[in-house]
Amino acid sequence: MEENKINMPLLGDEFPNLNEVQTTHGAMNLPQDLKGQWFVLFSHPADFTPVCTTEFVAFQKRYHEFKALNCKLIGMSVDQVFSHIKWVEWIKSELGIEIEFPIIAANDSLAMKLGMLHPGKGSNTVRAVFIVDPESKVRLIMYYPQEVGRNIDEVVRAVKALQTSDQQQGAIAAGWPNNELIGDRVIVPPATSEADAQKRTETYDCYDWWFCHKPLEK
């Protein structure tokens, strides 16, 4: 019973060790094999299903965008690896799209470890997305129900936003880089003292001392 306990990682946690998991590209050890780079691990309910097929095509269409961000893609469901292989072959032969990223063949225990099995949905994994940084820390988690496909452009944007936040030492606005108020600018971290608050409007562009922003450094 303890083996199937849901113990999903939280934001800021180290991504759980997944040792010798079977994938369509051979065995992998996560996060060790991807230490030093970003990766996106996303789960799908099942192979050979319409919504999941549209998602895999969409991820592959943006494969080089993720690659340019030094970010690996990894798919996952509880289907066996031969099912993954056959599905990937079908996508290539019928849709003309070659899936270049690996797909993990998870078991129920592994899926439960990541909180990817919905108690009321049988053995199908939910549509989860984990964005993990080069230090193997979980930085963002998204969950979608089985009936709604993901917006893959948002996953790309989220990786870019996290990287930009780290590099620019600031926060990222809604809809970045096309925010309605400040465009692609970076929000300055909150003031930590009254003296700092008073200097804010002299140093940065501000709506008020608590809402200041700076240009995106190229």
Q: Which residues does the annotation mark as catalytic?
A: 52
Residues facing residue 214 across a β-bridge: 186
CB 178: neighbour CB atoms within 10 A? 10
- The rounded distance, in Å, linking the Cα atoms of 125 and 41 is 13
Q: In sequence order, which ranges of 96-151 are alpha helices (DSSP H)?
A: 108-113
User: Which parts of the chain are beta strand (E)?
Assistant: 18-23, 26-30, 38-43, 71-77, 103-105, 127-132, 138-144, 186-187, 205-208, 211-214
Residues facing residue 134 across a β-bridge: none
- The rounded distance, in Å, linking the Cα atoms of 163 and 161 is 5
Q: Which two tokens stand for residue 205?
A: 């562009």
- The rounded distance, in Å, linking the Cα atoms of 206 and 132 is 32
- The rounded distance, in Å, linking the Cα atoms of 188 and 17 is 35
